[in-house]
Structure 1
Amino acid sequence: MDWEKEETLKCEDGNYRCVFHAPKEDKDKFSEMNKGEEERKYKFLKLLYKKIGRDSEFKKCNLRGLVCPYEIRCSLDTRINLWDKIDISASKIESFFVLESDDSKPFAVQEIDARSITGGGVLKIELDEIVELFVSIKDSTSFHLCVQTVKKINFRRSMSADDVVLEFDKCEVIELNTVKCKRLSVWGEIDSELRFVDCESKSKADFSINKWRGKGIFIQCNFVSGVDFSGSQVVGEIELNSLESGGEINIKGMVADTKKIKLRNCGEDVISRIVFTSIEVKYLYFDNCGFPDFFRWESGAADKIKQKIDCYRALKAQAISEQNQPLVSRWHRKEWEMRLNEIREKRPRTFWASLEWLYSFVSGFGEDACRAGLVLLGLTGVLLFLSGVLAFFDNPTRGLQTTGEYFLQCLPIFSVAPPVGTEYSTMGKVFFWFAKLLLSFQTGMLTFALRNKFRRQ
């Protein structure tokens, strides 16, 4: 690259470098620039514009390797309607560098190369139209993009950016690969495809109020503090594959076609963090996902129990339509649990609250055969013990020998005469009748739970 004499200076290592590539310390010692921060900044900007002016003849702006220690707003000449390429790759942005059009005229760039940007400052691009943008950020540098139309944005191996903010009216393709940042925000209209692969955002990622005409794909992304999709309109589809999240995944208020928000290969913890209502359930599609015992939004305000019931009812209806019987069983049970909570909140000591609690305890709302079996086994043991006690009181000399006969009287299918020399007391007869009723009821609950278990396998 050819540089004019006024744009070069001798550095401490003895080598001559252009003003743009020299370290900040050598810039400060440069004889014509060592007159204070503002004068150094003015001189730097003046030479920068001169360089851009020469490049404009070829519609290519080469600022590769730029070292910018100042706050600079670089305005490009909009008399050229379409620049072929702007190259600011391998640059060191130590403060704040803005690349913008110099007035309100439409301004387009065919390609911007912003790969291998370092320095820890902020790089901001404010233009009208970009066809292709290649970005790679390091050393906690922040990147802000404000543009009306973008056809393709490609982030590659951006390991440690602070902020990545993309704001546009329309974008065809965005691809982010191995981007790790503190804050990730995307606002605009995606026409074709947005692909995030192995990306990480420490603060809550913001994709709210977007319009997805194309496809949004998130593969092995980690949103440490959660992600917000609320209010977005999905004309195409969004796929969340092998997602990790330490905060809530908010999809409330989203609008999409049926089953166009697809969650694949997500664990129980991730699924439990999804925040949605019964309205958004029809948009969800689960593929090879684990389901939690409870969603984290269940611990919300008690006055929203009705919304939780509606949500589980909608999940159950979706599982029925997909003929997924295990999920039907899961959501049916959760719906009844919410109904029980609702009754407890409104009428904590009523007959219906007690009855629903009993239904839950003896059979898990007709869905837990294991619980029903354990309750039946425990009830049998208690009745066997009480039969022995009653036999001892009726006939103290032969109490232990007649315990079996007494217990058989508790079974619904047996009705035997009392042992020789023994008469059933009135209390014993009442006990037998009550025991038959309890065993019959619990056996019915076990049968009902087993029927649901095998029917829904």
Structure 2
Amino acid sequence: MTCCKCEELGWNDPQPVVYTDPEDGNEYCLFHAPAEHKGMSVDVFNAQVSERIQAVIDLENEKALCDLSGAIFPGDICFESGSALPNISFEKARFEGHAVFDKACFGKIAMFVEASFGGRAAFYQASFGEYALFDEASFRGGAFFSEASFKGNAYFGRARFCGGAYFDETHLVRVVFFNGASFEGNASFSKASFGGNTSFHEASFMGNADFSSAQFNGPIRFHSIITDDSILRLAYCTVPPSAMTFENCDPTCLDLVDQRDLTHIHFINSSWEKNGRIKACTEDDPGRLQSTRDFYQRMKAKYKAENNEYEASKWHVAEKEAQLKLLGQATKPIRQALKEVGQGAAIKDAWKACRLERNCLSVKTFFAALVMWLSPFFNAAAERLTFRALWLYKYSSGYGEKPFHALFWLAVLVLLPALPVLFPGSMLYYLPLMREYPGSDVCVVTRFLIVIWQLLITAQAALFAFALRNRFRR
């Protein structure tokens, strides 16, 4: 009698039975017997595994495959650092404890399809050959592939990373597929190198993912990814002309604030607009608001370079909104500035120096100190004026992007003088380019109001024309 699992999985050398299930009568060999029915310690079992691997190595046949498919590893197993492994199959294997393959050198084929790792799966600085197959593998205790080298194709289709997934400084030379993979914890691809086609089609990120300083030498696609409020951070990445594409995604989950080169990053059927305008995930972070504003500027420049004025318009609005927030946070209240001026001691020191020396240098020192003493007030006033001007720009024309908005306020400015209670004299006095001039009986205050109102109408008309031009240009 032979092991039922050996027959099911097609082992070339079915193993003798060591355990029979009393309930269903199925018979299992040493490798496939349940963890609690091996009949030996973990160390002895691991020694049996090593003997099986060594037997294949001794064949000195590059095509020979060490078959450990379906094997159940009852405890921790640690392969010697730097050990050379043949072509090997751990398909549907189950690792109950930690599995350590640090610095292992796999043959042409390393198959972990549907393998289950109950503890930590460590492949630190491991080297893989032509094929590394982890499709539908389950990593419950964290997957560590940092500084590993995949010389051929790497497949992680529908793999499940329940703990963290770490691919820091990993070299992936050829095709890499994470299609349908599930990252339930944080994932890190920091400083990883991708040499060929890379795909995250329908991958789900339930934790944050970090691609900082990653280098992409081939096309990379994020198609229909699921993020669940997670953040994907791309910073200082190298993206080739073959491009990085986000398709059918929610790009608001992306942190691209520190990604300097945006030229080859494209968005297809992936709208940044939420609630009427673009808003990146970093905008609400006060410490990163200025960086977010700069990111909006780079995105606007990107679309202008592509002659995509429609998208450039959206990023222009986002940039101005961030600038308005930034000014609102950074602008010092006038009252606080006056308080600082009132507490300043520089003017007193300058006055003392002026009285002591009474020469030109002391006068210069006095005026220099005076300017320095009043500078907090002048700076606060300038910032407040800039804030108010930008605020008016927003509500009068939508930052030069909403012609109907601008037309509405232009109509209001034109029609308001029809109210004699608020505007004395003829309505035509307040409209520019009219030949109606106020008579000598009109007071100075009214004349001043007329001039100001004509300037306001002229400015609003210019904003309307500007916004209308922008709308037709889009």
If the TM-score is normalised by the length of the shorter chain, which range does it land in?
0.7 to 0.9
Q: Do the aligned partners of residues 158 and 10 (structure 1) sit closer, same or farther apart at CA in structure 2, a change above 3 Å counting? A: closer
* Residue number in structure 1 paired with 2:284: 299
Deviation, 1:152, is 1.4
Deviation, 1:408, is 4.4
User: Which of residues 308, 313, 316 is equivalent to 1:329?
Assistant: 313
* Residue number in structure 1 paired with 2:135: 156
How many residues end up aligned between the 2 structures? Answer: 401
Q: Do the aligned partners of residues 42 and 268 (structure 1) sit closer, same or farther apart at CA in structure 2, a change above 3 Å counting? A: closer
* Residue number in structure 2 paired with 1:36: none
* Residue number in structure 2 paired with 1:18: 29
Whether the aligned pair in 1 keeps the contact of 2:251 and 2:272 (CA below 8 Å) is: yes
Q: Could you report, residue by residue, the CA deviation over 1:204-223 in whole angstroms, capped at 9, with x for unpaired residues?
A: 11111111222211111111
Q: Do the aligned partners of residues 10 and 339 (structure 1) sit closer, same or farther apart at CA in structure 2, a change above 3 Å counting? A: closer
* Residue number in structure 2 paired with 1:116: 92
Deviation, 1:309, is 4.3
* Residue number in structure 2 paired with 1:449: 467
User: Which of residues 393, 415, 422 is equivalent to 1:359?
Assistant: 393
* Residue number in structure 2 paired with 1:435: 453
Whether the aligned pair in 2 keeps the contact of 1:281 and 1:311 (CA below 8 Å) is: no
Within 5 Å, give how 1:191-340 maps onto structure 2: 191-245=173-227, 246-258=229-241, 260-270=243-253, 273-277=254-258, 279-292=260-273, 293-302=278-287, 305=290, 307-340=291-324
Within 5 Å, give how 1:79-158 maps onto structure 2: 80=60, 82=62, 84-98=64-78, 100=79, 104=82, 107-110=84-87, 112-118=88-94, 121-126=97-102, 127-137=104-114, 141-142=118-119, 143-146=121-124, 147-158=126-137
* Residue number in structure 2 paired with 1:66: none
Deviation, 1:324, is 0.3
Distance in structure 1 (CA, Å) of the matches to 2:14 and 2:131:
32
* Residue number in structure 1 paired with 2:336: none
Whether the aligned pair in 2 keeps the contact of 1:155 and 1:175 (CA below 8 Å) is: yes
Deviation, 1:47, is 5.0
Query: Helix, strand or coil for the counterpart of 1:22?
Result: coil
Within 5 Å, give how 1:167-206 maps onto structure 2: 167=146, 168-182=148-162, 183-187=164-168, 188-206=170-188
* Residue number in structure 2 paired with 1:349: 381
Distance in structure 1 (CA, Å) of the matches to 2:134 and 2:112:
5
Q: Counterpart amino acid of 1:411?
A: L
Deviation, 1:26, is 3.9
Give the alignment's TM-score, normalised by structure 2. 0.72
Q: Counterpart amino acid of 1:8?
A: V
Distance in structure 2 (CA, Å) of the matches to 1:352 and 1:51:
76
More strand as a share of residues = 1
Identity value in percent: 19
Q: Which runs of 5+ in 2 are unaligned?
A: 3-12, 332-378
Query: Helix, strand or coil for the counterpart of 2:123?
Result: strand
Higher mean C-alpha deviation, range 236-245 or range 340-349:
340-349
Q: Could you report, residue by residue, the CA deviation over 1:346-405 in whole angstroms, capped at 9, with x for unpaired residues?
A: 545323333333223322322232432333344456444x435546xx7xxxxxxxxxxx
Q: Which runs of 5+ in 1 are unaligned?
A: 34-39, 60-76, 395-405
Whether the aligned pair in 1 keeps the contact of 2:249 and 2:270 (CA below 8 Å) is: yes
